[in-house]
């Protein structure tokens, strides 16, 4: 197989044209759609180099070369940008980049070989919306191409060794979390259109003083400003409604899981995604709104487990995230799966409905299952202002998800949905 053939196998870069990722401080002078890709390549190349015990100076030069390996695309200036970049790189990084672009030139040595593997591996992962595959399959493809002489077999063999976090490790962290209360699942099962729903919710809240207090506190908040202080569950539900009470219950059940200051951003993202998932469910009509709210609230519980992971593996995960790679990419490299799969296992242990578990599992790869809830979660997260650097955007995935829901990109325009009262209330209480 030729190198051109290998590029076809690993997908090219068609989906990176709409990627917009802010550079890490001091990392690049030119903001461009390619920065997220270059950062991924740099992080992967650096980790491979450390596993192969390259000297620290060589690792630093390799990461520098990797971040600038698409300078001509980042700036849109073509050859002139490449020449300007070469003048700013350290001599060692420039030699690696020259060897990367000219495979017959030996100056870059093993570092250039690592960069070629990191580039090909990253492109293949970014091509998953077009050609789905498991990480193990991709690594096997890379090893086969190495046998054909296209890549360094020592480097491709190291790809599989990066996977060091097992699902069992993550589930062990969940055992230290509170068990999901049965009262919250019973609240979810109360049908909103039944005449008895008010009485059922009142009875349910009466059995749990903490949740009853949360509902009453919400009704007394400045968002509702009752004329007289509310002191009973019935009065509170008259103000915020059965559905409002249900959502307060669910959110307050999950709030303690995010008590650490380091998890505040993740909590805000969970609540915002829940609110927007409910809104999209109403617009689409293909997903139950109350189930969408719950799905949005728990869709990133797998990230919670990863944040709680301790020891050397937890430190490695945190280090790669701090170096600028998005969460999904780091998870694939270290776990072989993303936090959606981890979250699904956690929800199974909490006896969540199978359809919701499936949606959470595939919310970053909705093309892998027919569930409209998975498509809805993907769209809601794309709409969220707090998604941050969780994953590089994929226009193809988002368009497919919206089509499945019968919606258009116009639905997700900034400001299309005013801030929900529950979002404000819960974040003020955090």
Read off the pLDDT band of 205 (50, 70, 90). Answer: confident
Among the listed residues 175, 178, 111, 150, the one whose alpha carbon sits nearest the alpha carbon of residue 309: 175
Quote the mean pLDDT of the chain. 81
- pTM of the complete model: 0.81
- Taking the C-alpha atoms of residue 347 and residue 338, their distance in angstroms, rounded to an integer, is 15
Residue 185 has what pLDDT?
A: 66
Q: Is 182-195+258-429 a domain of CATH 1.10.260.40?
A: no
User: pLDDT digits over 289-320, tens only?
Assistant: 888 988 998 999 999 888 888 888 889 998 99
Residue 252 has what pLDDT?
A: 78
Residue 152 near residue 49, CB atoms below 8 Å: no
User: pLDDT digits over 11-64, tens only?
Assistant: 344 344 333 333 333 333 334 557 889 999 999 999 999 999 999 999 999 999
Chain CA centroid to CA 131, Å: 19
Sequence-distant (6+) residues with CB within 8 A of 268 are: 386, 427, 430
- The residue ranges of every structural domain in the chain are 19-162, 182-195+258-429
SS3 53: coil
Residue 165 near residue 334, CB atoms below 8 Å: yes
SS3 8: helix
20 φ/ψ angles, rounded to the nearest 5 degrees: -130, 105
- Taking the C-alpha atoms of residue 118 and residue 100, their distance in angstroms, rounded to an integer, is 11
Q: How many CA atoms lie within 13 A of 419 on its CB side?
A: 11
Read off the pLDDT band of 103 (50, 70, 90). Answer: confident
- Taking the C-alpha atoms of residue 204 and residue 185, their distance in angstroms, rounded to an integer, is 11
Residue 181 near residue 253, CB atoms below 8 Å: yes
């Amino acid at each position: 197989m030729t190198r051109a053939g290998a590029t076809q196998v690993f997908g090219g870069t068609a989906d990176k044209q709409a990627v917009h990722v802010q550079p890490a401080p001091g990392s690049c002078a030119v903001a461009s759609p390619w920065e997220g890709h270059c950062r991924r390549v740099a992080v992967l190349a650096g980790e491979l180099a450390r596993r192969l015990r390259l000297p620290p100076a060589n690792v630093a030069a390799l990461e520098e070369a990797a971040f600038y390996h698409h300078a001509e695309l980042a700036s849109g200036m073509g050859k002139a940008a490449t020449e300007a970049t070469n003048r700013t790189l350290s001599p060692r990084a420039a030699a690696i980049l020259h060897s990367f672009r000219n495979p017959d030139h030996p100056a870059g040595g093993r570092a250039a070989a690592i960069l070629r593997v990191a580039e090909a591996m990253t492109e293949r992962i970014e091509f998953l919306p077009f050609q789905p595959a498991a990480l193990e399959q991709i690594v096997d493809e890379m090893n086969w191409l190495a046998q054909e002489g296209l890549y360094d077999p020592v480097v491709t063999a190291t790809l599989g060794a990066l996977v060091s976090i097992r699902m069992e490790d993550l589930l062990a962290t969940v055992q230290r979390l509170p068990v999901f209360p049965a009262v919250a699942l019973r609240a979810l099962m109360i049908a909103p259109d039944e005449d008895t729903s008010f009485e059922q919710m009142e009875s349910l809240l009466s059995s749990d003083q903490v949740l009853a207090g949360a509902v009453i506190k919400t009704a007394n908040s400045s968002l509702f400003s009752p004329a007289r202080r509310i002191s009973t569950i019935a009065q509170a539900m008259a103000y915020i409604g059965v559905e409002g009470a249900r959502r307060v219950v669910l959110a307050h059940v999950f709030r303690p899981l995010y008590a650490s200051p380091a998890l505040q951003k993740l909590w805000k993202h969970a609540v915002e995604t829940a609110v927007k998932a409910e809104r999209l469910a109403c617009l689409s009509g293909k997903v139950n709104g109350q189930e969408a709210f719950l799905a949005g609230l728990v869709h990133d519980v797998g990230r919670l487990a990863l944040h709680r992971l301790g020891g050397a593996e937890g430190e490695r995960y945190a280090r790669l995230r701090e170096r600028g790679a998005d969460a999904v990419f780091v998870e694939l490299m270290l776990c072989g799966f993303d936090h959606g799969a981890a979250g699904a296992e956690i929800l199974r242990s909490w006896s969540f409905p199978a359809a919701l578990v499936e949606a959470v599992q595939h919310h970053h790869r909705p093309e892998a299952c027919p569930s409209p809830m998975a498509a809805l979660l993907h769209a809601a997260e794309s709409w969220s202002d707090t998604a941050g650097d969780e994953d590089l955007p994929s226009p193809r995935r988002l368009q497919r998800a919206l089509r499945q829901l019968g919606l258009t990109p116009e639905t997700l325009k900034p400001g299309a949905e005013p801030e929900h009262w529950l979002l404000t209330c819960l974040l003020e209480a955090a």
